[in-house]
Amino acid sequence: MTKKNFLFFYIPLTGFLIIFFVFSFLNRAYIQGRVKALVDEQLLATAGILKVHFSRLLEAEYAPDEIFALFPEEEDIYYMALLDESGKLLGWRSRFEGYLPLTDEMIGERRSWIIESPVGRIFNAITSFSLSGEKKYYLYLGYSLKNLEEMMAHSRNNFYLILALIFGVGVLFSIGLYRFQLNYVEKKRELDEEKKEKKRYQEISALTSGVAHEIKNPLNSLALLFEWLHKRAAPGTGEKIAYGKEEIRKISKIVDQFSTALKPIDLHKETFSLTEIISEARSSIDISSREKDVNIRFPQNDDIVMSADKGLIRQAVLNLISNATEASGRGEVKIRAEKVKGRTVLSIQDFGRGMTEDEKKHIFEPFFSTKTSGMGIGLYIVKKIIDAHQGKIRVESEWGKGTTVIVEIPGG
Amino acid sequence: MKRRMFLLAGLVLPLLIGISFAQESRHFYNVDSEKRIEGIIREINMEPRYRGSAPFLVIKLESLDTHTVYNVEISPAWFFAMDVHKGEDMEVLGSFYQSDRREPGIIAREIRFRGETFLLRDKHGFPNWRGGQKGRKGHRRGKKIKK
């Protein structure tokens, strides 16, 4: 991943996480503040209720210790104390032996505060009350904030969980987006290259077609001239003139092949039997295959019917069987045709020397050949024909074991 | 009449529930009255100090300088797992209080005994046997936690 890509994908994610964090933090702080304020009010209200009870009991002349003994133990009230106007302790009780975190400075204007303790935070409140407008007392309460802390911890955990989830999802999303972008860039690059290649091919095609056409005319004249000379040849020169004629014929054939290879394919589809095409092709190269001691096997009785350009398919099949026969040396060639999920699949297998990985990469390129004879445009034309039919062609080959060419043509 | 009914309801209900408590000791750990005493152990007692709590180890400590005898409230006996003998030296840091009927008292927070220091309460007086000082290295029942 480049630095630019990293910035492009991760800075927005980081920014989003920071915004979320800050927003959630402020929101949480606000809610916590509000909850604390509510708890504060609630606890002061509780203190207010207790004050009423205390004042009534004190007026009824109950001793402070007696009053404390009357109140049931509340789980959330850790300690409570009653003080007189001068701050002298009149009575108290605590859930923890001797623990009453009351200091002289706490008695006065201070209304409520929170302290830390080994059992969590404790809300402390001191409120004053008077008996019939005369004697003033202070009630000191220590209230457990355990439930509030549990709630806060729960909220904090949820916050971190959501943050982690957003981070995880964000990272996955970014990775997905990054891969998508990589694929897009790669596809675009391939398309651009393909476009350039097509343009180059069109230019070369136009040029080569022109050259082929220009060669053909003088070649025809030359062929006619040699024919004329052959008829009037002086004794002993006929053989040399015949050799010249043969050479002209070879040049003409090469030019024809060029023209065929470069000519754009115009499909004329019809329905025909592929089985028949294969049988015909096998028959046409039967003599040469027998000469090479190659057995072409096509053990198939099913009639495979397909819709395609019969002439082109025939040409492709012929090329493939011919190539396989030449590649096999001495041995056999297996042909198989079948219908698979609406596609016509033809495979031609030889047991020759096979191909190297490098050969496999270039096998469909024009003028590439592993043979000593031939121009190397046979498989190029086959691929062109298959491509024109929106089909696929692939090669499976293992060095020393042979090669299988598999052709798939949609429809049938 | 109405007032009496209110009082009756307020007083009887808790009694019926039967859950009420008050400490035996009238003194709490007052951080404003902390005092350090060094003295000799004169008497060792086990006394109920707080309702609902196990008996406390309480010693009478005679001050070395003024020869005043203090009632020193140590901790529940199970927490301070050391044998204490009369005549041994002990240094106590704790909250001092003056009792009306008995000797002056100290609620101990820190003890130096036989060369070791024991923390019994935190600096606010919270008892360590109730969960205080959790997680401190070496903290076990009555074991020294610092030298």
Does the residue A170 lie in any domain? no
Give Cβ neighbours of residue A356 (< 8 Å, ≥ 6 apart). A399
Q: Is A257 in the same domain as A286?
A: no
Q: Is A312 in the same domain as A360?
A: yes
Residue B122 gets the label, from left (phi > 0), alpha (psi -120 to 50) or beta, of: beta
Distance CA A396, CA B104 (A): 103
Q: Is A214 in the same domain as A299?
A: no
Q: Is A358 in the same domain as A250?
A: no
- The burial of A200, by beta-carbon neighbours within 10 Å (0-12 exposed, 13-18 middle, 19 or more buried), is given as exposed
ipTM of this model?
Answer: 0.75
- Work out the mean pLDDT of chain A and round it to a whole number: 84
Average pLDDT over residues A365-375: 72
Does the residue A152 lie in any domain? no
Q: Is A316 in the same domain as A255?
A: no
Q: Is A342 in the same domain as A394?
A: yes
Q: Is A319 in the same domain as A277?
A: yes
In this complex, is the C-beta atom of B125 within 8 Å of any C-beta atom belonging to chain A?
yes
Average pLDDT over residues B59-86: 92
Q: Is A129 in the same domain as A201?
A: no
Q: Is A282 in the same domain as A245?
A: no
In this complex, is the C-beta atom of A52 within 8 Å of any C-beta atom belonging to chain B?
no
Does the residue A153 lie in any domain? no
pTM score: 0.53
Does the residue A93 lie in any domain? yes
Of A261, A283, A304, the residue that ends a domain is A261
Of A95, A122, A144, the residue that ends a domain is A144
Does the residue A159 lie in any domain? no
Say whether pLDDT at B64 is over 90.
yes
List the domains of chain B with CATH numbers. 31-130 (2.40.50.140)
Of A242, A261, A280, the residue that ends a domain is A261
A63-114 pLDDT per residue, tens: 888 888 888 777 788 999 998 888 888 888 898 999 999 887 777 655 788 8
A19-31 pLDDT per residue, tens: 888 888 888 888 8
In this complex, is the C-beta atom of A114 within 8 Å of any C-beta atom belonging to chain B?
no
Does the residue A119 lie in any domain? yes
Torsions phi, psi for B61 (to 5 deg): -115, 125
From the list A56, A94, A117, the residue facing B7 with the nearest CB is A56
Q: Is A139 in the same domain as A272?
A: no
Q: Is the Cβ pair A93, B53 closer than 8 Å? A: no
Average pLDDT over residues B7-12: 38
**Domain count for chain A:** 3
* pLDDT above 90: percentage of residues in chain A: 12
Per-residue pLDDT, A4: 65
Give Cβ neighbours of residue A144 (< 8 Å, ≥ 6 apart). A75, A76, A77, A78, A119, A120, A122, A123
Q: Give the chain B residue whose CA is nearest to the CA of A56.
A: B7
Does the residue A244 lie in any domain? yes
- Paired strand residues for A223: none
Q: Is A26 in the same domain as A126?
A: yes
Per-residue pLDDT, A298: 85
Q: Is the Cβ pair B22, A69 closer than 8 Å? A: yes
From the list A53, A70, A97, the residue facing B127 with the nearest CB is A97
B105-147 pLDDT per residue, tens: 999 999 999 999 999 999 899 999 887 544 444 444 444 554 4
Chain A hits for B10, Cβ within 8 Å? 53, 56-57, 70
From the list B17, B56, B126, the residue facing A72 with the nearest CB is B17
Going by C-alpha positions, the residue among B126, B124, B58, B50 that lies closest to residue B92 is B58
Q: Which domain holds residue A191?
A: 178-261
User: Residue A391 belongs to a domain with what CATH number?
Assistant: 3.30.565.10
End-to-end, the C-alpha distance of chain B in Å comes to 64
Query: Range with the lowest mean pLDDT among A350-359, B35-44, B63-72?
Result: A350-359
Q: Is A272 in the same domain as A231?
A: no
In this complex, is the C-beta atom of A307 within 8 Å of any C-beta atom belonging to chain B?
no
Torsions phi, psi for B51 (to 5 deg): -65, 135
Does the residue A225 lie in any domain? yes
From the list B21, B107, B134, the residue facing A73 with the nearest CB is B21
In this complex, is the C-beta atom of B47 within 8 Å of any C-beta atom belonging to chain A?
no
Supply A238's token pair: 């006929």
CA separation, residue A359 to residues A4, A35, A328, A372, B52 (Å): 39, 76, 16, 14, 93
